[in-house]
Chain A
Amino acid sequence: MKKILLMGNPNVGKSVFFNRLTGANVIESNYPGTTVDYTKGYMKGDSEDFEIIDVPGTFSLEAKDKAEEVAVKMLEEEKGALVICVIDASKIERGLYLCLEIIERGYSVVMALNMWDVAEDKNVQIDIEKLKNILNIPVVPTVAISGKGFKEVVLSIKKAASVGVKEIMERVGETK
């Protein structure tokens, strides 16, 4: 069964994602560090089933605490896994840092720009189409707590493929 890792910075809504995708029950809270160990669950896709793993939040792949160590170890152990990178849309830069690190290591990534509503509140506008073109990976705006964008995330899983960081650098130069 294909594995999907849910990764991202702390407190961006990975556990809410996990519960929605799998129908499982993991504790969700509005503070960073709720998930300190990984949880597995299963999701039915339209053509195949997936095993989904809720990974503790981390800012980078250089672990700073025990919960981050768990995250990095998970990623290293699941070489063939697909990664749904959950990003706080209102703090996109730090999310991109982790996301790029994961892309550089050759994983197929789907990017979920979560907390889209919070970003709107803060008047942060993101050009999804441009971001998609630069990164060449699926990018989906989501609001995990209300369920917005989930269908599209699930549909995008098929489209995700490993991309080269060099190409990303080239494309960003060409984009206006």
Chain B
Amino acid sequence: MTLTADERWDLIEKISNKVVTFGKFKHTLKDALGELTVKPLTGIPIAITVLYGFWSVFSSFAGTLCTDGFFVKLFDGHFLPWIQSVFPGVGGWFYYIFVGDPAADNCFEAFGVLTSGLFVAIGVVLPAIFIFYLMMALLEDVGYMPRLAVLVDTIFHRIGLHGYAIVPSILALGCNVPAVTATRILETKKQRFIMMTLLAIFIPCGAQLGIMQEVIPESIGIVLLYLIFGYFIFGFILNKLVPGKSPEILIDVPPYQKPMWNNIARKLRMRLGGFLKTAVPFVLLGCVIVNILYLAGTIDWLAKTLTPLLTGWFGVPGETVGPLIAAFLRKDLAVAQLSTIEMSKYQMITSVVLVSIYFPCIATFVMLLKEGWKNLIGSFAVLVTVIFLYGGLINLIWSLLGVQ
């Protein structure tokens, strides 16, 4: 026998009347904290403080302490000269692929699998991912995320989503792959499409953030601003164009909780393990492929062919073709490669934004495909449009400011 919803609620009321007694509600410290962090007047300053704190710990731990303080010294000072001298066959193609430029004095410029590949993966990205996931696990376990969702709800409604979209968005800052799956918490097809498209295009992953703050620390703020603006501008447009509904939701805000260290440690282990197993091989493979394409002359040919487009429309040098190809595999590698190309600060900003919004990395692409090929085609169409419009717009802004 099954009940109707009303009969069921009726039965529940009877049961609960018999078995549950509600004592006097005590206003605890947890409740007070909970209220302070969701009420806009206090919640918004707290949110800004939390996010700013997140970012400064991220950049000083990963960038200043680990990468500059340790890995740069280790790789550039000891490992690079050593491997350049012991690896056999200087001048040969094998040497070129694995060690790269024999005259390079740092691991960004060498661009071999064992030099730049290892350095980018282990020396730059690993510490960035580590600290990012550690802090994210803390925020997750304490229970701050749903409160952030409540605070940003109004803004997200403008782009057809609701506050809960902050969860896939923040997950995407770690890695876009789990973020694509996390879009399942959104109710309608329209919302999921908007979310997946926006995160694949505009949200840089932890690896990319780590490398950006290493190679362009002085312009990363501007790059991020461009991406955030893009996220909301195109979200707003997509919301108008994509048919479907964007329903309201009620968010369940769980109580604050003391984080459990063994849970945080386990999550960290799983996510870092995932990075080492899936991302590192792609970084190394990316190096191999790009080097082979250089050796075969494909990249020079493409650079020449595409220079009118790249220089004319986006205002960046033709050599950026190489990084754009690497970006298919790994965006962190692409940014590392960009940093070795000679160009102005503003061209660099444009190219980094282009690499970010341009085609999602292969792992994200596969995830998007798993969630449905129709969505993927739609996202792809949006992506191509965004690159041309937004890339052109940024170039136009620089020209108007006269800084190109």
Interface residues of A (CB under 8 A from B): 10-11, 16, 19, 25, 27-34, 36-37, 56, 64-67, 70, 92-93, 96-97, 100-101, 104-105, 118, 121-127, 130-131, 134-135, 145, 164-166, 168-169, 172-173, 175-176
Contacts and interface: CB of A to CB of B under 8 A. Distances in A.
A36 B3 contact: no
B1 A123 contact: no
Interface string B1-35: 11100001101111110111111111010100000
Interface in B258-305: 260, 263, 266-267, 270
A131 B254 CA distance: 25
Nearest to A32: B252
A32 B254 contact: yes
B215 interface: no
Interface string B130-159: 000000010011110110000000000000
A31 B20 contact: no
Contact of A29 (B11, B145, B187): B145
B167 interface: yes
B145 A31 contact: yes
Contacts of A92: 16, 20
Given A36-B185, A134-B15, A165 B20 contact: no
B243 to A, nearest CB: 18
A107 B174 CA distance: 40
B176 to A, nearest CB: 15
Given A25-B266, A27-B270, A123 B22 contact: yes
Contacts of B167: 31, 33
Contacts of B263: 16, 28, 145
Nearest to A119: B20
B143 A125 contact: no
A11 B252 contact: yes
Contacts of A100: 3, 8, 11-12
Given A67-B185, A100-B3, A122 B25 contact: yes
A36 B146 CA distance: 16
B145 A121 contact: no
A166 B1 CA distance: 7
Interface residues of B, number: 48
B140 A29 contact: yes
Given A121-B26, A168-B11, 18 more contacts: A29-B137, A31-B167, A33-B184, A34-B140, A92-B16, A93-B13, A96-B15, A96-B16, A100-B3, A104-B2, A122-B25, A123-B26, A124-B20, A130-B19, A165-B1, A165-B3, A172-B14, A172-B18
Contacts of A145: 257, 260, 263
B164 interface: yes
B184 to A, nearest CB: 4
30 contacts: A19-B266, A27-B267, A29-B145, A30-B140, A30-B254, A30-B257, A31-B146, A36-B181, A36-B184, A64-B187, A65-B185, A66-B184, A66-B186, A96-B15, A96-B16, A97-B8, A100-B3, A100-B8, A104-B3, A105-B2, A121-B26, A122-B26, A123-B22, A124-B21, A124-B23, A125-B21, A127-B18, A127-B19, A135-B15, A145-B257
Nearest to A64: B187
A32 B267 CA distance: 17
Given A28-B263, A36-B182, A101-B8, A66 B192 contact: yes
A125 B24 CA distance: 11
Contacts of B255: 118, 121
Contacts of A176: 18
Contact of B22 (A67, A118, A121, A124): A124
A169 B3 CA distance: 11
A66 B257 CA distance: 28
Contacts of A56: 184
B228 to A, nearest CB: 23
B20 A125 contact: yes
